[in-house]
Amino acid sequence: MSLVRRIVNAAIHRAYAAIRRAGAITPATPGGHEFRRIGDGVSIAFPPGAIFGEAYIEIGDHTLIGERVSISCGMNPGLDLGHTSILRIGRGCSIGRGSHIVAHQSIDIGDDVFTGPYVYITDQNHVYDDPDIPIGRQWPRNSPVSIGSGSWLGAGAIILPGTTLGRQCVVAGGAVVRGTFPDHSVVAGVPARRVRGYTPELGWHDPVRPDPAS
């Protein structure tokens, strides 16, 4: 590589790094002021994904949100969704790049929740009540979602409406999750099921065969 090309290449990389720093959304930037709450140390990386409904979104202190992450409330910008928050992300979380969190009724993500890239979390889905109407034209149905503190969601996991994950749960990459799972669950599969559990009495065990010595 010629000297001129190396100089140009280095300048481009420095400029892009500066753009990423300047483009991040933080409590101190104008974009941060749109949120219902955005805590100290929060950073939403540049470039962001689709972000709207900020007045109904709370993000706890020191949470990091990767680039191209979409976080939204409602079908489209500018909707009146009431007087309370709809999407709540706790403190110390890390949301992987390319993920989507789409709230319409209620999504609660606890503290210290980490996700891999391209995770999808939603509290709304289309129904299939009438087999003669295109599914995309049938009115969607909402059901709240809750993800317990300390949980880890693997790359490409999908969290569907009506899901409740307890504390310190692991969701395997690519799992499609619906339902209620207790604390310390390992959840995997399509559809997802609980494949491991933990209790002080039994330690880690197969929930179908609760006695690890059997």
Q: Which residues are catalytic?
A: 126
Sign of the alpha-carbon dihedral angle for 183, 175, 158, 174: positive
Is 187 within 8 Å of 164 (Cβ atoms)? Answer: no
Spatial distance between the Cα atoms of 96 and 62, rounded to a whole number of angstroms: 15
Per the listing, tokens 């880890």 go with: 152
How many angstroms from the chain centroid is the CA of residue 6? Answer: 39
Is 46 within 8 Å of 66 (Cβ atoms)? Answer: no
Per the listing, tokens 């065969």 go with: 209
Torsion angles phi and psi, residue 42, rounded to 5: -70, 140
Best CA proximity match to 98, nearest among 72, 71, 77: 71
Best CA proximity match to 161, nearest among 173, 149, 177: 177
| Helix intervals (H) in the chain | 3-23
H/E run at residue 99: none
